[in-house]
């Protein structure tokens, strides 16, 4: 019962947090209740792997804390039942929870992430107004970049001061349309969206050489101009075309990672070959000492005349600058490929490491509950939140280090477990030996002795003064 109650409470809090973060995107946009219920359902599936460890941690602290607080644990120990024996059934249940958590992370979590993302995309296709933000260029509508000042009207389907870049011909910003007002017509279930513009101007920069000679550009004004936009039905494919690490199972990640690694190594090899060619390294070769007919100076440049030295230095500077420019231009691509590989590798190892979080946090929560001897939702809740925040922070910190190539993906994924396992062992040993987290008397006794000694010396001094006065 404590686990079920704490799990449902934590799950509710995490779902409400996700709903609050998405509230701005869905509130007042005409979203029906079915979409909101689907969103909450998929969100609950996504946050379940996080709610399970918190529920195990909090319920273990509460359960063992209640036993210790009511002296039931002391009675069990007097009957010869040790702490490991007492929590053995709970440990088996926690192992089952870890297996369940792994199942969620490997199967349910990728599916829920895909369905939630697909839900967002489809609702934006069905209700394009949801995706349009005033004051910025909106790129969610395919083939067009749309900017406007504000929405107005009863359904907020009308736009004011509209500016559109038509990119359907894929020739850049050659067509520009401006209008004082506009209206979006998108009947539900229809594939096509109609954009009606009023009182505007049309500008087109012609790119054909023959047309450019006589008419570099054309302009026109209109009272009403209609644009029909083809809205694709789906943008996410369930066949694995979407390369997102969160939507892949461990088996799929294991297949994708070698391909990314091969692509990264081939990219490095290609860049190395490019440097080799740019530096004309193939023209460099070593002379045999037997064919050198004269003594050479220790410094290479001293073997050439002044004009030749200047040519050699100028050539070396030019080659070096060219190499530096190539490195700067390709730095972004190099970082992108390396980080993408790191992200997939980190996700793979983190799925395995995080599935064991239930077991790790149980071995922290169970002995901690028997040590603090407090049940209920007070102190156990505070300790559970602090411990999980520390666990989650170290996990996120390790993942960020791994994604930035500061540490390996394996180490970055397991750093939280490496820090928490010794803490669990320490607490288990001290709880088994019926000791506290630390012996506070070690710190208090010297202070008490010092205070006692000070008071004794003060009393003796006071007695001496009293006798002298007599």
pLDDT tens sequence across 180-236 = 888 888 765 566 778 888 988 888 876 665 544 555 677 888 888 888 877 655 444
Q: Taking the chain (470 residues) in consecutive chunks of 10 residues, what is each chunk's mean pLDDT? A: 80 87 66 81 90 87 77 72 76 88 90 83 64 76 82 80 83 81 73 83 70 64 84 49 72 88 85 74 62 65 79 83 78 83 90 88 83 72 83 89 87 89 84 63 63 75 64
Q: How many CB atoms lie within 10 A of CB 32?
A: 11
Of 144, 324, 349, residue with least CA distance to 231 = 144
- Token pair for 461: 């001094």
For the whole model, what pTM was predicted? 0.66
d(CA 184, CA 412): 48
Looking at residue 128, its pLDDT comes to 63
- Token pair for 414: 């397991």
Looking at residue 193, its pLDDT comes to 77
Looking at residue 189, its pLDDT comes to 53
Looking at residue 201, its pLDDT comes to 87
Looking at residue 93, its pLDDT comes to 86
Looking at residue 20, its pLDDT comes to 84
d(CA 205, CA 198): 22
φ, ψ (nearest 5 deg) of residue 108: -75, -45
Looking at residue 241, its pLDDT comes to 42
Q: How many CB atoms lie within 10 A of CB 126?
A: 18
């Amino acid at each position: 019962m404590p686990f079920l109650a704490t799990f449902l409470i934590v799950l509710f809090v995490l779902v409400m947090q996700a709903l609050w973060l998405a509230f701005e995107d869905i509130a007042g946009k005409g979203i029906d209740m079915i979409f909101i219920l689907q969103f909450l359902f998929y969100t609950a599936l996504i946050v379940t792997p996080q709610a399970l460890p918190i529920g195990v941690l909090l319920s273990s602290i509460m359960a063992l804390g209640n036993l210790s607080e009511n002296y039931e644990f002391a009675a069990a120990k007097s009957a010869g039942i040790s702490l490991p024996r007492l929590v053995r059934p709970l440990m088996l249940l926690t192992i089952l929870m870890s297996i369940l958590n792994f199942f969620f992370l490997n199967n349910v979590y990728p599916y829920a992430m895909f369905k939630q993302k697909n839900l967002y995309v489809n609702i934006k296709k069905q209700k394009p107004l949801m995706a349009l933000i005033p004051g910025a260029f909106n790129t969610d509508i395919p083939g067009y970049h749309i900017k406007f000042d504000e929405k107005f009207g009863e359904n907020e389907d009308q736009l004011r001061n509209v500016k559109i870049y038509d990119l359907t011909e894929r020739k850049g910003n050659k067509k520009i349309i401006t209008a004082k007002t506009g209206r979006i017509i998108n009947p539900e279930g229809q594939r096509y969206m109609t954009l009606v513009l009023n009182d505007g101007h049309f500008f087109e920069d012609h790119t054909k050489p023959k047309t450019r000679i006589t008419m570099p550009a054309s302009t026109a004004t209109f009272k009403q101009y209609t644009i029909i936009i083809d809205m694709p039905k789906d943008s996410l494919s369930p066949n694995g075309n979407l390369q997102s690490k969160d939507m892949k199972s461990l088996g799929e990640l294991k297949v994708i990672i070698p391909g990314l690694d091969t692509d990264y190594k081939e990219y490095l090899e290609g860049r190395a070959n490019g440097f080799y060619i740019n530096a004309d390294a193939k023209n460099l070769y070593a002379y045999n000492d037997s064919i050198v007919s004269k003594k050479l100076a220790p410094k290479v440049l001293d073997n050439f005349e002044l004009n030749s030295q200047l040519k050699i230095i100028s050539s070396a500077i030019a080659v070096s600058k060219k190499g530096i420019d190539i490195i700067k231009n390709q730095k972004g691509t190099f970082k992108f490929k390396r980080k993408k590989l790191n992200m997939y590798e980190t996700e793979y190892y983190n799925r395995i490491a995080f599935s064991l979080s239930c077991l790790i946090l149980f071995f922290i929560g169970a002995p901690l509950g028997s040590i603090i001897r407090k049940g209920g939702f007070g102190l156990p809740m505070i300790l559970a939140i602090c411990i999980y925040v520390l666990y989650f922070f170290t996990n996120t910190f390790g993942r960020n280090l791994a994604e930035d190539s500061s540490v390996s993906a394996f180490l970055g994924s397991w750093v939280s477990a490496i820090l928490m396992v010794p803490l669990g062992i320490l607490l288990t040993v001290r709880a088994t030996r019926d000791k506290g987290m630390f012996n506070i008397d070690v710190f208090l006794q010297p202070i008490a002795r010092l205070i006692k000694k000070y008071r004794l010396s003060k009393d003796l001094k006071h007695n001496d003064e009293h006798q002298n006065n007599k």
